[in-house]
Amino acid sequence: MKRKSLKLITAITLLATVVLSGCSNGGSQKITIGTQTYSEPKIIAEMYKALIEENTDITVDIVADLAASPIVIQSMDKNDIQMATLYSGEIFNNYFEIEDTKDRQEVLQQAQQGFDENFSFKWFDGFGFENTYAFTVRKELADEYQLTKVSDLKNYADTMKLGVDTTWLERDNDGYRPFQEHYGITFNDVFPMEISLVYQAVADEQVDVVLAYTTDPGIKEFNLQTLEDDLQFFPPFDASPVLRKDTLEKHPELEEIVMTLVGKIDAATMTSLNYEVDVNKRSPKEVAVEFLKENNLLKSEA
C-alpha cells in the first residue's frame, strides 16, 4: 500500500508539473516576451507589457538577457517565449534562402515571408528605426566640412582617424576592406578597440570618425553627427515586433496592441530612450512607461 501511495503521489506531482509548465509557456492568459542583452529590446518589451496588461486580461512575463537574436529566435521556435523585437537583417544568418539585396523594404519583406513560411512567426512592419552600423563624426568636423553622408568623407579621410569595433576590421562582407572597395575611401589611421571605448576616444579627440550603431546612446552623449550610408554599404536592420502566429490566433486582440507602436519610434527617439537607460541609469520599465504616457498611449500606472 505504501508503495502504491508513493506511485500515486509521484504521478500527481508529475501531472501538476506538466500543467504548470504548460501554463508558463503560452497558457491561455499568459505570454512571455524575450529580449536580447542590450537596453533597446528591453525598453520595447516593457512598453508592450504595459500596453497588453492595461488593455487585456493577459499577464506578460519578460525574459531578459538572451545572448543574441538567434537565441531569441530559437526560444520562440520552441515556444519558450512568444514575442520579441527582431531586426530585418537577421535574414542574412542563413535561416532560409534569400535574394541578396540591401534594399530596406525588400529585406523586410523577405524577413516577413521567410519567418512566416519557415517558423510560423508574424513579423510586423518596423517601429520606424533600424539598428545597424553607422559612421559618425565629431559635430564640429561635420559642420566645418559640411559632412552629411559617408561619401562626403572621401576628400578628407586621408587626414582623419577612424575608431572602430575590433571585430569590424575582420568582417568579410561588411568590414573595412569591402568598405574601402565600395566607397573608395581609406582613412589616414584606423584604431581598433572595444566598442565601449570608441566614444571616449572621440570625446578626447583621439579619433575623428567613429563606427557606431545607429541607436547607440553614445551618439547623443558625445554629440556625434550620423552620416547617411548613401551608397547602401551596410545591410539594413529595421526593428520589428515579432510574435508566434499561434499566439495571435489564441489572442487576436494582440494584433491591434502590437500595431500601436509600429511606425511610431524613429532612430532619434530610440537613441534618446537608450540614453535614459544606459547613461542616466533609469530602468527600462520607467523609461518605457514614461514614453507611453507622453504619447497618450497608456492611462494607468504600470
pLDDT tens digits along 64-73: 999 999 999 9
User: Is there a common fold for 2-130+237-294 and 133-226?
Assistant: yes
Cα 230 from Cα 122, distance rounded (Å): 31
Q: Which residues contact 135 (CB under 8 A, 6 or more apart)?
A: 150, 153, 209, 210, 211, 212, 226, 227, 229
Class of domain 133-226: alpha beta
Helical H segments across 56-197, by residue range:
69-77, 104-119, 139-145, 176-183
- Match domain 2-130+237-294 to its CATH number in 3.40.50.720, 3.40.50.2300, 3.40.640.10, 3.40.190.10: 3.40.190.10
Residue extents of the structural domains in the chain: 2-130+237-294, 133-226
Helical H segments across 56-96, by residue range:
69-77
Backbone angles phi and psi of 125, in degrees to 5: -60, 165
Sole residue written with cell 564640429? 140
6 pLDDT above the threshold of 90: no
Best mean pLDDT range from 168-172, 190-194, 217-221, 239-243? 239-243
* Higher local confidence (pLDDT), 6 or 260: 260
Least confident of 78-82, 217-221, 277-281: 217-221
* Pairing of β 161-165 and β 239-244: unpaired
pTM: 0.85
Buried b (16+ CB within 10 A) or exposed e, 19-30: eeeeeeebeeee
236-266 pLDDT, tens digit each: 999 999 999 999 999 999 999 999 999 999 9
Cα 134 from Cα 107, distance rounded (Å): 18
